[in-house]
Amino acid sequence: MRLRQMAVAFLQNEEQEVLFLQKRAKNTFLAGHLVPIGGHIDGDEINDPKKACIREIEEETGIKSDCIEDLSLRYIVHRVKDNQEIRIQYVFFGNISKNSTLIESDEGTLEWLNCSEIPNRNVSETTIEIARHYLELGAATEKTYVGSMSSLNGNPQINWALLEDWEPSFFNY
């Protein structure tokens, strides 16, 4: 199986709205969908998904890293695509001003959404599950969760676990 890694950002403003990209209908990936800001991790970024996330934010919105506050890894989602590809998505959350100067990219138009609106819009199931977990638990903590996408009675779901270091500190390897 191939491995594909992506890094995306849920960029929130002071009104707790999240910046999304409305993909153009001509796009080959998630055409017509609303997606978090982000994309594929390039070869030189494999060991630094945050670097990839910052690059994608600048490419898709024009926002520079110094205008983003508290950009931190909050979710890592695993899934299998067509039994041929393992996908790992690194999901960062950060804060920006609603008054930030945004640029439009060739990929689509930018739109602010409240997290509670996400399930009612044309978004991926992964995005719905991340938003649901964030609203229920993630917003109240700064911890990182890892999730495995699966199907429950034909409906997509993510099984979440807290990502933590369980080894005693004297193991240094």
Which domains are delineated in the chain? 2-162 (3.90.79.10)
Residue pair 144/160 in contact (Cβ under 8 Å)? The answer is no
Residue whose pair of structure tokens reads 């649901």 in the numeric block: 132
Give residue for tokens 């994608």.
56
pTM of the shown model? 0.91
Alpha carbons within 13 angstroms on the beta-carbon side of residue 139 total 14
In percent, the amount of the chain with pLDDT more than 70 equals 92
pLDDT greater than 90 at residue 151: no
- The string of pLDDT tens digits covering residues 62-95 is 999 999 999 999 999 999 988 889 999 999 999 9
| C-alpha–C-alpha distance, residues 147 and 157, integer Å | 9
pLDDT digits (tens, 9 = 90+) for 35-45: 999 999 999 99
